[in-house]
Structure 1
Amino acid sequence: MTISSSLNAGVAGLAANSSRLAAISDNIANASTAGYKRVVTSFESMVISQSGGTYAAGGVSVSNTRMIDQRSSLISTNNATDLAVDGRGFIPVASLAEVEAGSQPTMLLTTSGSFRTNEEGYLTTSSGLVLLGWEANADETFPTVARDTDDPLVPVKFDTSQLSAAPTTYVSLGVNLPADSALTGAAGDPEENSIQYFDNLGGQQDLSIVYTPTGLNDNEWTMTITDGATGTVVGDYTLTFDDSQTGKGTLSTVGTTIGGAYDASTGTIIVTADSGPIEIEIGVMTQLSSAFTAATIEKDGYEAASFAGVEVDEGGYVHALYENGSSRIVYQIPLADMPNPNGMKSLDSQTFMPSTASGAYYLWDAGTGPTGSVAGYRQEESTTDVATELTAMIQTQRAYSSNAKVIQTVDEMLQETTNIKR
């Protein structure tokens, strides 16, 4: 009966607008929730096949979609491990409870999180999410891993009580030797400088380097390198500089008496100190008519120091910071991407789980492919616009009232029908 279909359509309208009001309420309640993705309600008409001149109301159906692919603005914070995705992509996280249980945690995805190191050293949020990443090798490189699975991902964890040290393996000698001292037959004064390096235990040692003009030929020096840890000579070389118009005082040839041979392609020699091999770049040395200078000496390695904090750069690399100012790359946080982010399953704490509807995910290096960068000291604001939601609430209220009026009218018409028999 047509009048009965009108009643059913009114009931469907009440249910649909109630569902929309629930979505609006959720959006407004989370207007200040970092990383929250608003829910959008869609209405679809339901049409019943018609015959002749009669018409039966089909009503309306409703579907709610969380707009996971929408991004909001990023706000600054004072915590280095407040992380957000600047652009496309999702940060992998897992439940702290699953991690502590010792099982392989299920990868969840989010676009923003406030992470801090807990008492166990895990980088977690207050809601119990642990940051996931790939662990670095000892030399701060990363192994080749499968990008379409979360199996290689591990919880980001730090031993905050452990000291860290790295031996010196490379030194660059930005030294200038005075040209006036290296003349044939002249008894030029030797020059000396001492370079501090770090041994395998983070201790400080010295390489003493003495530069002596030979007096046998113009522009010719001997360079003697002594390891202060053992007092032995680990390098003895004869340096000849080019004083031509094109050479302009650069290093020309190197003769070796003690130590590794000179590699002209890299400008380096290798000497074996007490802590192991040290590559020394001497190709940057010059001989100019100026005073002896050793102002641009560079080296790697650092002394033993305690853990001081964590930072994450825009490429997703997690740096462990130490009190001596040094840092070390320990993890890399990839960004996940998939064909249909809105198809993911929504979970608590602004997390999402890939599903068949979202399509297969791929773990990209941040800033490569379609993904954006990882922003530290940032949080993503909620995508809720309160003004828009309040406007939608007024529309929903009016639509709900109108559907209620339809039901009331149908009720009055049915009453009139029953009154015909009286």
Structure 2
Amino acid sequence: MDVFTALQTAVSGMKAQGFSLENISGNIANSQTTGFKRVDTSFVDLVAEQAPSRQVSGSVRANSVLTNSVQGNIIATEIPTNIALNGPGFFAVQAGAGSINGQTAFTPGNLYTRRGDFKQDNEGYLRNGGGAYLTGTSLDPATGLATGEGPIQISTLPVLGKPTSTIEYSTSLPQTPAAKLTGAVFSADSKTPIILDGTGQTGTVAAGDASTLINGSLEGPILQLYSSSGQPVTVNTRWAKVQDATAQVGETAAKPAVWNLYYANSSTAGQTSSQWTNAGTAFQFDTTGKLTSPATNSISIPNITVNNVALGNITMSYGAGGLTTTNGNTITPNYFRQDGFTSGTLKGISVSESGEVVGSYTNGNTIALARINVVQFANPDGLKADSSGNYRQTLDSGVPLTGLNGTTIEGQNIEQSNTDIASEFSKMIVTQQAYSANTKVISTAQDMMSSLINIIR
């Protein structure tokens, strides 16, 4: 290497160290930028082809090293729509492209970001501090079905009421109840007995016979059901044992225990003043307490009408083993849920671990409104950095793979920059010393060239 080559090599060293300092300064400047990924610097030697005995160190080139796969610290915030990814992956977002007829327009194609400081804007979109709009699958609040893909927009319109169609109910009935229905309970025509012994007899108990029913039965669950308009209706129920499990003379098998379920046709008149309707099913149990009939795990209660409000046909689902009889004289309720609700307005939104945007309504319901798009790349460090904390797909990154794939979503949290200030300061000191050393090389080379010129003089 001659003096002139030494000058060129020193200049390349100064350029490389300047490039490193540029990355260091950017990392420090963005140490508080949400979701920022620092850029490190690697140095590559550039060696001219020479014989081994004449090989020289050569000049240097600096390259950027991305750290998109290195996670920053996750910290809690007070904003429910702030979200952080705990694990690999990126949020799929879109950039705004101005306004058309007063509505935000979006650029085609997705960008990708770890910046999760999303807030709801005045149009209901979830937008982060860099101006990117979170994308996902929008869901119908009433049906839960997907309605479209793209930027997530949360509607503030109230949800309509949903009528009750299914009751999920589980309970244990006593084998020796404190009250048993032994007398005849008649229907409104005062002729048809309204107890089921397995024949499938059904009907309505007249208000005049309500006391007989109540005295010979046990109180069941008080149900809050909803009509087609979302009107809440309180439904009182009672369980009555109408047959004991006994072995009859000359019979080889014991007769099953039989229970009937009744509901009051009015919740305002009082239980002893209301008519009561038999649900229409004889629930039969063997001596071990197992339900033997009906063989299905649910029944349909037809044409329920309470307080003159028609609730229609409602399915009562108790599942396998949901109805049993056990020792004792009281009912032990285990589980109750129904699928109806009244109308309600949105009062808040949050984000679940699975990536659902969940709305909380004044009717007490929590409804999934959207599913967030999260993607992963085979080589996340191959993404091309864009402004505002966004990245673009490249050939090196590979195609986006949709799904969490082990990553969890932390609602009401954000991911901090992965810049370590102490480490950057250390690198800055080393860079400064290396830059100064390269200037010394130039100064030395200049002195040598001056000495050579002085020889000629």
In the superposition, the TM-score normalised over structure 1's length comes to 0.83
What displacement does 1:37 show? 0.6
What displacement does 1:203 show? 1.8
- Bigger CA drift: 235-244 or 68-77? 235-244
Confirm or deny that 1:408 pairs with 2:425.
no
Q: Residue by residue, what CA displacement relative to the aligned partner does 1:21-74 show, whole Å, maximum 9, x if unpaired?
A: 000001111112221111110111111122597666631111112211111221
Confirm or deny that 1:379 pairs with 2:383.
no
Task: Provide closer, same or farther for how the CA distance between residues 227 and 397 of structure 1 changes in structure 2, counting only shifts above 3 A.
Answer: farther
Task: Provide closer, same or farther for how the CA distance between residues 28 and 397 of structure 1 changes in structure 2, counting only shifts above 3 A.
Answer: same
Gaps of 5+ in 1: 144-151, 255-263
Alignment of 1:38-53 (within 5 A): 38-50=38-50
1:296 and 1:346 mapped to 2: Cα distance?
A: 53
Which one-letter code corresponds to 1:38 in the other structure? R
Alignment of 1:202-221 (within 5 A): 202-214=230-242, 219-221=257-259
2:48 and 2:408 mapped to 1: Cα distance?
A: 50
2:226 and 2:345 mapped to 1: Cα distance?
A: 16
1:297 and 1:214 mapped to 2: Cα distance?
A: 24
In the superposition, the TM-score normalised over structure 2's length comes to 0.77
Structure 2 contact 45–57 (Cα < 8 Å) conserved: no
Confirm or deny that 1:116 pairs with 2:143.
no
Residue 334 of structure 1 is matched in structure 2 by 373
Residue 198 of structure 2 is matched in structure 1 by none
Alignment of 1:16-415 (within 5 A): 16-50=16-50, 58-97=58-97, 100-103=103-106, 105-137=108-140, 138-141=142-145, 153-175=149-171, 177=173, 179-180=176-177, 181-182=179-180, 189-191=216-218, 194-214=222-242, 219-225=257-263, 236-242=279-285, 244=287, 246-247=288-289, 250-254=290-294, 264-269=295-300, 271-273=302-304, 274-282=310-318, 284-288=322-326, 289-292=328-331, 296-364=335-403, 366=404, 368=405, 371-415=406-450
Q: Residue by residue, what CA displacement relative to the aligned partner does 1:261-312 show, whole Å, maximum 9, x if unpaired?
A: xxx3423435455455432125634455323565743222222111011111
Structure 1 contact 206–227 (Cα < 8 Å) conserved: no
What displacement does 1:417 show? 2.0
Gaps of 5+ in 2: 185-211, 247-256, 268-273, 305-309
Residue 452 of structure 2 is matched in structure 1 by 417
- Name the SS for the 1:160 alignment partner: coil
- Name the SS for the 2:27 alignment partner: helix
What displacement does 1:103 show? 4.6
Count the aligned residue pairs.
397
Which one-letter code corresponds to 2:454 in the other structure? N
2:275 and 2:98 mapped to 1: Cα distance?
A: 55
Identity %: 28
Which one-letter code corresponds to 1:155 in the other structure? P
Structure 1 contact 16–62 (Cα < 8 Å) conserved: yes
Structure 1 contact 96–124 (Cα < 8 Å) conserved: no
2:442 and 2:303 mapped to 1: Cα distance?
A: 93
